[in-house]
Amino acid sequence: MSNAHGLADRFEPHREHLRGVAYRMLGSLPDAEDAVQEAWLRFMRADVGEIRNLAGWLTTVVSRICLDALRSRSARREDLVGGHEADEHVDRSRTAQPEQEAVLVDEVNEIFDIMPTMLELAGTRATHTHFARSLVPQLRGAPGDPLRAAFVEGGYNVYEPQAFEPKLGGLYAPKTNLQNDQPASVSRVASVKTQRFSFTARPGAEGELYDRKKDPGLTVNLINSRAHSKVREDMQVRLMNRYINTTGVPPRDKDSRDTPPFYPTPDFNEAARALEVTGD
């Protein structure tokens, strides 16, 4: 009994996070609760002494459980609608643990890739323009794009005080104290990351450039290194191109006040569509 209590004490702090992950993937609170409960059962059966990163392990387990649930939904829909056999990639007799089937890839991916991945597994697609990529090919063993980059932006400037958090005590005190006492430390930034390098642009302050392969701890800033000036310029151009290609994208539905809906929409070639998808 005491061992079960000990496992529960380790699991419960992660329950809300796991429920949120499952809900975002499945879109159903009851299904999310079931996924979290299944993760708890697998945690109880696992060799917890071998788990070094519990939060990461549990997130992986819940994600794989949700992926299996989505595959089952897609298979059931095919059976009910078309009377066809289930997708060849869906093995309903699979008994392996999801944490044992976790797919690790070396290529760069973005968290937004979860959305098109889930949509493809569910047999549908987005109705808006986006710049994420489905990871289903990687889940099925295909290699990713070694030249891909991940982009991120964030932070607030002093002219946006409404966006700053108030000073909070307890666990979040260091974080909230810093942004209020030194607001420049959380100013706006934009960053691009490839397999090899990480570049951050910070207007009004020094940027950052790191060699992720030689310096995985990101301790040596190469932003002023002459030997890396070409890398810095390439990353700056890539970041700029990303903003140019992804800013101000119009909705897919035409606005009748601007373009009559009966005007034909051109169908551009594959190269144009590839640019639309990647954005860089």
> pLDDT, tens digit, for every residue of 99-131?
455 556 778 889 889 899 888 888 888 888 889
Q: What is the pLDDT of residue 89?
A: 44
Q: Are residues 270 and 179 in the same domain?
A: yes
User: Is 85 inside any structural domain?
Assistant: yes
Q: What is the pLDDT of residue 208?
A: 96
Q: Are residues 81 and 10 in the same domain?
A: yes
User: Is 255 inside any structural domain?
Assistant: no
Strand ranges in the chain using DSSP code E only, listed in sequence order = 150-154, 189-193, 197-201, 208-211
Q: Using the 3D structure, point to which of 144, 172, 198 is the last residue of a domain.
A: 144
Q: Averaged over 270-274, what is the pLDDT? A: 55
User: Is 254 inside any structural domain?
Assistant: no
Q: What is the pLDDT of residue 99?
A: 46
Q: Are residues 81 and 114 in the same domain?
A: no
| CA pair distance 158, 82, nearest whole angstrom | 57
Q: What is the pLDDT of residue 257?
A: 74
Q: What is the pLDDT of residue 270?
A: 58
Q: Within 13 Å of residue 100, how many CA atoms lie on the same side as its CB?
A: 8
Top mean pLDDT of 80-89, 137-146, 263-272 is at: 137-146
**Would you place residue 185 in the very low, low, confident or very high pLDDT band (cuts 50, 70, 90)?**
confident
Q: Are residues 20 and 41 in the same domain?
A: yes
Q: How many domains does the chain divide into?
A: 3
β-strands 150-154, 197-201 pairing: unpaired
| Cβ contact 173:167 at 8 Å | yes
| Rounded CA Rg of the chain | 23
Higher pLDDT, residue 134 or 90: 134
**Would you place residue 38 in the very low, low, confident or very high pLDDT band (cuts 50, 70, 90)?**
very high
Using a cut of 0.95, tell me whether the model's pTM lies above it: no
Q: Are residues 127 and 34 in the same domain?
A: no
**Would you place residue 271 in the very low, low, confident or very high pLDDT band (cuts 50, 70, 90)?**
low
Q: Are residues 157 and 208 in the same domain?
A: yes
| Cβ contact 18:39 at 8 Å | yes
Q: What angle do CA 14, 18, 19 make, to 5 degrees?
A: 120
* 55, amino acid identity: A
| CA pair distance 272, 268, nearest whole angstrom | 6
Q: What is the pLDDT of residue 91?
A: 47
Q: What is the pLDDT of residue 86?
A: 42
User: Is 253 inside any structural domain?
Assistant: no
Neighbours of 152 (CB within 10 A): 12
| CA pair distance 51, 84, nearest whole angstrom | 41
**Would you place residue 272 in the very low, low, confident or very high pLDDT band (cuts 50, 70, 90)?**
low
Domain limits at 42?
A: 2-102
User: Is 82 inside any structural domain?
Assistant: yes
Is the pLDDT score of 93 beyond 50? no
* 181, amino acid identity: D
Higher pLDDT, residue 67 or 210: 210
**Would you place residue 279 in the very low, low, confident or very high pLDDT band (cuts 50, 70, 90)?**
low
Q: Averaged over 183-208, what is the pLDDT? A: 92
